[in-house]
Amino acid sequence: MTSSLPKSIDETLDLLTRSSYVADRSLATVLFLALKMQRPLFLEGEAGVGKTEIAKVLSTALDRPLIRLQCYEGLDISSSVYEWNYAAQMVDIRMREASGDTNRDAMEDDVFSDRFLIRRPILQALEQVDGRAPVLLIDELDRTDEAFEAFLLEVLSDFQVTIPELGTIRAAEPPIVIITTNRTREIHDALKRRCLYHWVDYPDAEREFDIVRLKVPDAGETLSREIVDYIQRLRTKELFKNPGIAETLDWATALMELDKVALDPQAVSDTLGVILKYQDDIAAIQGTEGAAILKEVKSQAQAEGARSGASSSNAASATNEA
Ligand SMILES: Nc1ncnc2c1ncn2[C@@H]1O[C@H](COP(=O)(O)OP(=O)(O)OP(=O)(O)O)[C@@H](O)[C@H]1O
Ligand SMILES: [Mg+2]
């Protein structure tokens, strides 16, 4: 059965948390509103910050099918909406001719019927099965060209498409639309205006720590905290490509696989390729800069250790006094 939509921002936050997505309140708010107002949600942000994951999590949490349209340069209507199955149509025509059937009108009607229609993601999303409006993920829209964007504008305005041979197909209930972009180019204002917009930023240290603990629980608390601190500091450097959450999680998994319980200079140097994907960035961090970051991470960890040690001994002496 389809789960009902969340009724408040808190319920939306709960829903995301239950599906292992650690969101901040601003994301939960815009998502709640997008669901309530039946408007597409336009998510922009750097790579690996959890944009695509939102659509996946929504589909699971709301028990709706996920229909994904992966965008690329040259994406057109035949790959995104529908296409006629020409090969099957030709076979059908040949068989009719062979059996002496020469009624051209009947042939045309039949050949352009539902039977020969190949449904691509947008059409699938409009023709929902069992009355369950699906989650339609239009991923990495910035990779398409402007002609496709203009077409999408039409679809998102009316939630309908017209197939000349069949007529207009309109969604009984608009699908839940999530659009993502990595901002390699600006998307036209007209399209953005149809949507609610949210910039998905890198998480702060606390949220990133929660994500690591949730997704890679076996990495251990000390290692997770140091990894997050290192990554957070790395993002303040002038890198060609900052590590996203995906890289943080990969690093936690990699170091755990190497049986590490804390960062050390050798482990960091050996695994930089997990978090940095450009040689210039690796070269910049491998030397003194990386060592300086690690030193800061270690002294931060020590300070935190001393603080928590002091507060627990205070608590113990308070208990003893009581
Ligand atoms: N807030 C979060 N809570 C839990 N996991 C998260 C969160 N954000 C990101 N992740 C995890 O980080 C990884 C990367 O997320 P995702 O693929 O959604 O990023 P993206 O923004 O779509 O990146 P890209 O632009 O490269 O496609 C996923 O494995 C996802 O599970
Ligand atoms: Mg993505």
Question: Distance from the CA of 15 to the center of ligand 1, in angstroms?
Answer: 17
- Pair of tokens at residue 42: 């336009």
pLDDT at 260 over 50: yes
Contact of 63 with 1, CB cutoff 8 Å: yes
Note the pLDDT of residue 159. 93
Ligand 1 atom nearest to 23, measured from its CA: 1
Classify domain 9-76+120-200 at the CATH superfamily level.
P-loop containing nucleotide triphosphate hydrolases (3.40.50.300)
- Tokens 């020969």 belong to 116
- Tokens 């050390």 belong to 264
2 band by pLDDT with thresholds 50, 70 and 90: low
Q: Is 202 in the pocket of ligand 1 (CB under 6 A)?
A: no
Instruction: Of 134-138, 208-212, 252-256, 313-317, give the lowest mean pLDDT range.
Output: 313-317
Shortest-distance ligand to the CA of residue 139: 2
pLDDT at 23 over 50: yes
Predicted structure pTM score: 0.90
pLDDT at 320 over 60: no
312 band by pLDDT with thresholds 50, 70 and 90: low
Question: Distance from the CA of 280 to the center of ligand 2, in angstroms?
Answer: 24
| Residues shown for the chain | 322
238 vs 322, which has greater pLDDT? 238
Q: Return the percentage of the chain with pLDDT > 90, whole number.
A: 79
Atom 5 (ligand 1): residue with closest C-alpha? 21
pLDDT digits (tens, 9 = 90+) for 142-168: 999 989 999 999 899 899 999 999 999
Q: Is 249 in the pocket of ligand 1 (CB under 6 A)?
A: yes
Note the pLDDT of residue 1. 46
Taking the domains of the chain in order of start, what are their residue ranges?
9-76+120-200, 82-117, 205-305
Note the pLDDT of residue 322. 46
Atom 26 (ligand 1): residue with closest C-alpha? 47
Note the pLDDT of residue 132. 81
* 43 CB-near residues (< 8 Å, 6+ apart): 51, 54, 178, 179, 180, 181, 198, 200
Contact of 76 with 16, CB cutoff 8 Å: no
Contact of 250 with 216, CB cutoff 8 Å: no
Question: Distance from the CA of 46 to the center of ligand 2, in angstroms?
Answer: 9
Shortest-distance ligand to the CA of residue 245: 1
Mean pLDDT (the chain) is: 92
Question: Distance from the CA of 47 to the center of ligand 1, in angstroms?
Answer: 8
DSSP codes of every residue in 162-230: EETTTEEEE-SS--EEEEEE--SSPPPHHHHHTSEEEEEPPPPHHHHHHHHHHH-GGG-HHHHHHHHHH
Atom 16 (ligand 1): residue with closest C-alpha? 50
Question: Distance from the CA of 175 to the center of ligand 1, in angstroms?
Answer: 22
Round to whole Å and give the CA distance between 222 and 190: 48
Q: Which of the listed residues 179, 245, 253 should we mutate to test ligand 1's pocket, taking the one with most ligand atoms within 8 A of CB?
A: 245
Residue 118: beta bridge partners?
Answer: 83
Round to whole Å and give the CA distance between 276 and 241: 7
220 vs 317, which has greater pLDDT? 220
Atom 28 (ligand 1): residue with closest C-alpha? 246
